[in-house]
Amino acid sequence: MRSFTFFFFFSTIVALALASTSDHVEAISQVVEIHRLRPQTGTAGYHVPQLDCLSWRLGVETNNLQDWKLVPSACENYVGHYMLGKQYRHDCEAVADAAIEYAKGLKLGGDGKDVWVFDIDETTLSNLPYYAGSDVAFGAIAFNSTRFNAWVMEGKAPAIPATLRLYKVVLSLGIKPVILTGTPEFTRQARITNLMKAGYTSWLKLILKGENDSPKSVVYKSSKRTELVKAGYRIVGNIGDQWTDLIGENAGSRTFKVPDPMYYIG
């Protein structure tokens, strides 16, 4: 069963990394890193003496665990397997299925004021090619904003297929996408290029974090959503990987959480 973990994202990572020769060495090191991960049985997590990594991940997804800084080192392999294997993809598909069913059942205004809020990182786009790197280790090594922003500026993040599917349904129903991200305003052009390349081709608004916006994600995102509501828009749906995308004022009629066991944004 050697093939169990090498699915879509793995091939994407390799394809992306091989796309430019300057990244070749990094690609090789990523392959080595991924091969080092030993197969675990199914999706039952693997047990370490002090910490059950599946319980840890459940705590993360339910927001029982807050303000954590790093993936516990004992869970680096577990998180790597989860993210590169089929369970992460299946979990994202299940979120999209629920969101699509909900969206299709909505009674819309038909006045162009119904909007759906999409976060970018780990929601519409995946930074897994970056997070799989040995200097990031799926979030087991401290976040470095300089390096992360440099990756963002490359504009090479692949779409998360499940969210792209939801996005297309949202558009087809006449709900307008609003893309709301905590990445800084200076990355705007790279983000536009990346979103377009990944298949997200139109939106009502693309909102990035300006220098005067609150550094607290929940405050920033709430205030931008409140501006939308004050402008007469109805937020019928909201999808993000962080709880701070989905709580606070005007969170939306329904919220949908996609998994992210790699980092926590407070």
* Residue ranges in contact with ligand NAG by CB under 6 A: 144, 146-147
Question: For residues 8 and 143, which CB has a smaller minimum distance to ligand NAG in the complex?
Answer: 143
Question: For residues 46 and 143, which CB has a smaller minimum distance to ligand NAG in the complex?
Answer: 143
Token look-up 């349904």 returns 169
**Least distance between ligand NAG and beta carbon 145 (Å):** 8
- Nearest-CB residue to ligand NAG? 144
Question: For residues 51 and 141, which CB has a smaller minimum distance to ligand NAG in the complex?
Answer: 141
Alpha carbon distance, N-terminus to C-terminus of the chain? 39
In whole angstroms, what is the distance from residue 171 CA to residue 199 CA?
12
- For residue 83, the number of C-alpha atoms closer than 13 Å in the C-beta half-sphere is 28
What is the helix (H) or strand (E) element at residue 178, kind and residue range?
strand 176-184
In whole angstroms, what is the distance from residue 152 CA to residue 143 CA?
14
**Least distance between ligand NAG and beta carbon 154 (Å):** 14
Helix, strand, or coil (residue 220) = helix
Question: For residues 150 and 196, which CB has a smaller minimum distance to ligand NAG in the complex?
Answer: 150
In whole angstroms, what is the distance from residue 154 CA to residue 172 CA?
30
Question: For residues 149 and 226, which CB has a smaller minimum distance to ligand NAG in the complex?
Answer: 149
**Least distance between ligand NAG and beta carbon 76 (Å):** 18
Q: Are 261 and 72 in contact (CB under 8 A)?
A: no
**Least distance between ligand NAG and beta carbon 121 (Å):** 18
Question: For residues 64 and 144, which CB has a smaller minimum distance to ligand NAG in the complex?
Answer: 144
**Least distance between ligand NAG and beta carbon 150 (Å):** 8
Put the strands of the sheet holding 176-184 in their side by side order. Answer: 205-209, 176-184, 114-118, 234-240, 255-257
**Least distance between ligand NAG and beta carbon 193 (Å):** 23
